Structure 1
């Protein structure tokens, strides 16, 4: 069962969807959403215009198991099943419920957390473009939304770097299906494909006690930005976050590949710094000056081990 809470104001306005618990072991978004839902029910906040839909736990099976996935990653290959074709697994059945829900909205805030230590950050999509990978025309609105979330950093370039990872796997001899790139498409990519825009907020490390507060304050910030609730009269302007672009991905070749230290997301590195050692003794060194993102010492062989990010010239309005 998927639990959905809908709030509709009498005045027309934006249609905002907030998701939590896309991954079962990421509980901060669920906690933030439940807190806001209770406050709306109790009259602490009033929806002035538009529609707000809250989904505290988007993947109930993974939540019951306390794991990232139920049967597979819900935030990959996110698209409805072809007409007349039965869903292949639990997450596909959930996707078939969530896609029509996303279709009815124009803005998406998807709340997550991550395994490694590190500060909260937001992830945004591409700049406006007419390319084949992810055409988009609402980058300014998306950037403005990300800026309001209050994180010190905003990261761009996800689908481009996912495509690079696929190219590495193909070069290593792996046979990939023709639609392999679709496995990199998640909730926000689907929202953009439907004419809307969305931001992923990584609220912090899974067990960070401050992560639920980060998510809660972000939801309120989005509601105020969209003029769906009243803003405090003395609300300070949002700070300008550092914008980074994913610039590379390194795959784990063997389960015995190891990091030389406990890396945290956004740890700085200089070109040539030693990051890890392959099972056969080969050194893995930083390819450029920048930052480590999503280091995962639990990654399976052939999966993404860590990413690089570098400073971006993109300006968020």
Structure 2
């Protein structure tokens, strides 16, 4: 089948039960305060319960006793109830309990009486997100794409991405069709405010290398904020000197229109098409081609169905 994104589960889901008890009064939320002035930073894992890499990264940071050199760092295992249901023989089934937790970050949803596991957890975590100055949300993907840092596209987000210098690709713009992601939550998405959130897609959900990317991204995030001892960074980072970044501007987000959609080849993401008009997908018999030269396919979703986003298209930013 073209677009089959199956891959064996190479990662072992860490036992995070030891991190349930926390010093914040909220399960699985740990606050590490340096006692010195500095950023109020936060790193998330497990927005989706089957995305193991962030859990591995936070587990390692906590086990290693990493502490911020200034400011305050909060480490959060977000949807632990979905994660508790993870089964490597059916790894897609624990993405969430009742609803996708990364689609409900609007004031009306957060202010309403919660009716799902995810909504209740979001309300419990909201004060931490309201407090945070800088946020890294760790995710993974359904294809073997190289890692991508996603930002909505505001100048403050681009500056943080450049300061991190990792991973090698940054995609600016939503291309999103359903709900609001956490990085688009009001305080972070306010152009006039100084709060900044970025989301990293570390690679395929269960590839061993995805956990390495997750930890490296967290370390580069903390280094960019000048919150990490250089010796600790060198000790734990597998990629301390990354290559120069490529910045992409998302121009299109495509929603499937029919029950007969397919990609024309095995696309993993970040494929570049030299010329406009190159066909890469078909929807209800209608060919879909690149709208301009030097077009980049971002995060193709081979499991998407009618009404869901199938891909984003982007062009490289010339700076």
Alignment TM-score, normalising by the size of structure 1 = 0.79
Q: Give the Cα–Cα distance (whole angstroms) in 1 for the partners of residues 28 and 229 of structure 2.
A: 27
Check conservation: 1:80, 1:95, Cα contact below 8 A: no
How far apart are 1:193 and its partner, in Å?
4.3
Equivalent residue for 2:73? 52
2:84 matches 1:34: no
Q: 1:124 — aligned with what?
A: 151
2:172 — aligned with what? 156
1:219-268 alpha-carbon deviations (Å, 9 max, x no partner)? 12222222222114997665430100111122212233111111111011
Q: Distance in 1 between matches of 2:43 and 2:250?
A: 25
Deviations 1:170-221 (A, max 9, x none): xxxxxxxxxxxxx542211224147410111111111221111111122122
Match for 1:294 among 274, 288, 299? 299
Per the alignment, residue 81 of structure 2 pairs with: 61
Q: Secondary structure at the match of 2:129?
A: helix
Does the CA-based 8 Å contact 1:79-1:99 persist in structure 2? no
Q: Give the number of equivalent residue pairs.
A: 276
For the 8 Å contact 2:69–2:227, the answer to whether it is kept is yes
- 2: CA distance, partners of 1:294 / 1:39: 33
Query: Equivalent residue for 1:17?
Result: 42
Within 2, Cα distance between the matches of 1:234 and 1:31? 17
Partners in 2 of 1:292 and 1:140 — Cα distance?
A: 20
2:168–2:242 CA contact under 8 A, matched in 1? no
Matched, 1:251 2:255: yes
Change in CA separation of 1:139 and 1:213 when aligned onto 2, cut-off 3 Å: closer
2:141: which partner in 1? 114
Q: How large is the Cα RMSD of the aligned pairs? A: 2.4
Shift of 1:46: 4.1
Choose 237-246 or 22-31, whichever is displaced more.
237-246
Which of 87, 106, 124 does residue 79 from structure 1 map onto? 106
* Structure 1 unaligned residues grouped into runs of 5+: 129-137, 166-182
State the Cα deviation string for residues 2-44 of structure 1 (Å, max 9, x = none): 411111112121111000110112110111111011101xxxx
TM-score scaled by structure 2? Answer: 0.79
Which residue of structure 1 lines up, in the alignment, with residue 6 of structure 2?
none
Q: C-alpha offsets along residues 68-87 of structure 1, whole Å, 9 cap, x if unaligned?
A: 22211111131356797421
Contact 1:79 1:95 survives alignment (8 Å): no
Matched, 1:142 2:160: yes
Task: Say whether the 8 Å CA contact 2:110–2:123 is kept in structure 1.
Answer: no
Q: What is the correspondence of 1:88-103 to structure 2 with a 5 Å cutoff?
A: 88-103=115-130
1:64 deviates by: 3.0
